[in-house]
Amino acid sequence: MASPAGVQAALAGSAPARTAISLFSLSGHVALVTGGHRSIGLEMVLVLAEAGAVVYCLDLSSEPDGDLLKNTGRLEYIRGNVTDQKAMWARIGICMANAGILQGAKCLEYPAEEFNKVLNVNICGMLYTAQAAGRQLERLRIPGSIVLTASMNGSVANHNQNWVAYNRSKSAVLQMARSLACELAPKGIRVNNVSPGYIFTNLFQDFLDERSGPEVELSAQNPMGRFGRPDELRGVMLWRASDASTFRTGSE
């Protein structure tokens, strides 16, 4: 009796078996990271380059970060805006859509202009980036990986954080990735989210500086009793980008 189509496809993709190290290699791949100038985005750029990819870093800053300048062999910095849909068409095989902004205000006083600005960058910018990557992969007829940076704030609302626009945007990113994953899976394109918690970045330091002593309370919410470091996300970022996660799509 003939095997079901799903079984046949799985068996066809199982040989030859690859070594664990080779599954994580990005040699020969080209990657784009938006919002890669610093913090979490910078860690994405560095780990992809270390794994062998040629990485293009897109951000608004006129000059790249010093750590980027140290790795110019496999990295190229591009100044650009993710809300400019036409500017996002590029040669992309792996895409890390990380660009985003956070602007807080009390929910009953949130200015419409500022609210829409957050949504434009965090939602529309994510979509335009994913569109660019998906169209390029479809044109080249190659499988690929798109990773959207969401946040734990897309799933939970924390007290004493007046982030209604940011939380709204990150919840949209979660569902966007699921929808894109379903549409693009037949083309061999995977789309996943990562939802960092309290990661000690420059932006998070600014948040702490605006308040009196929240470090103890916030760090206690994590079982490890501390904040995470940007470099501690390297493993999951590489896993998402590489062939080690070829059966992972539509997930956090």
Q: Could you report how far apart the first and last alpha carbons of the chain are, in Å?
A: 37
DSSP string, 93-132: SEEEE---------GGG--HHHHHHHHIIIIIHHHHHHHH
Q: Catalytic: which of 145, 151, 242, 245?
A: 151
Distance between CA 34 and CA 24 in Å, rounded? Answer: 21
Distance between CA 107 and CA 111 in Å, rounded? Answer: 9
Q: With contact defined as beta carbons under 8 Å apart, do 20 and 77 qualify?
A: no
Closest to 176 in 3D by CA, of 190, 193, 196: 193
Closest to 243 in 3D by CA, of 162, 100, 134, 143: 143
H/E stretch holding 234: helix 234-241
Catalytic, 3? Answer no
Cα torsion 123, 124, 130, 134: sign: positive
Q: Catalytic: which of 56, 77, 170, 242?
A: 170
Catalytic, 128? Answer no
Catalytic, 151? Answer yes
Q: Catalytic: which of 166, 171, 198, 245?
A: 166
Catalytic residues, which ones? Answer: 151, 166, 170
